[in-house]
Amino acid sequence: MAVNRSGLGRGLAALLPDAGAGAQQLPIDQIRPNPYQPRRDFAPEALAELADSVRQHGIVQPITVRPAPDGAGWQLVAGERRLRAAKMAGLPTIPALVRPCSERELVEIALIENLQREDINAIEAAAAYRRCLDEFGLTQEELAQQLGKSRTAVANTLRLLKLDPAVQQAISDGRLSEGHGRALLALIDPAEQVATAERIMAGHLSVREAEELSRSHRVKPRKRQGKTDAAAPDADLAAYAEALQRALGTKVEIRPGRHGGGTILVHYFEPEDLDRIAEAVGA
């Protein structure tokens, strides 16, 4: 599978050549949003500041649009924040570059523009990564190479999509960090994730404290009927299982055998997990 088969690794310049030439003023009310915009949250304060700048200096960098598929107006390709700020500033028109663009290029440009921004939140990045994998058929390793990131970094961000939606929203809102989210992944039960996240936010806990809290609040396996306390898992084995779980980023079980040995069971939930676990153990 060729790594450079899409524009993701080449940046916006490769997909939007001669971006500084041919700008024209287009009516703002005739420009439709990009349906593939991965970014959901736009800070009102930052948009208000940009709108003030637009009122004073105008739009310095043109947005990019393509003719709308149905021939009525245009569709935004790149420049969501600038378009929103121009609307807030009350401008009737906005400088724009009109470029023919395929549906796939529309997706690529929207993803690239946002993934290259430093203020995109971790959940938006994770959703964008997932879209790249699903719509372009990339592997995590290929995506990581094209984004200039490690495969582990991409995999860890993608894992945040396994969190309960309420926890994901807290990360999107900035109430929890990506590190807090990764700590909460140690909890399998969504209700436990939410409850622990609320304690983390209420106590303003650090990521390290969140990791310790998540370990202490993991759902304990129920004892089978007829078993005594002596049959409960050995505390040392439980500690080893927790350490392996943190290192591998997935559920780990240690089952002792009868003669001093036992079995280590490492769970994975999708092919990308298995790939990441193999990398973590040097396989």
∠ CA 243-247-249, nearest 5°, is: 110
Give the 3-state DSSP-derived string for 62-110, with helices as H, strands as E and coil as C: CEEEEECCCCCCEEEEECHHHHHHHHHCCCCEEEEEECCCCHHHHHHHH
Dihedral of CA atoms 108, 111, 113, 116 in degrees, nearest 10, equals -120
- Annotated active-site residue in 45, 49, 80, 105: 80
Distance separating alpha carbons of residues 61 and 20, to the nearest angstrom: 8
Q: What is the DSSP letter of 253?
A: E
- Give me 248's structure tokens: 């591998």
Give the 3-state DSSP-derived string for 127-160, with helices as H, strands as E and coil as C: HHHHHHHHHHCCCHHHHHHHHCCCHHHHHHHHHH
Instruction: Look up tokens 């009516």; give the residue.
Output: 27
The reply to whether 141 belongs to the active site is no
Catalytically annotated residues: 80
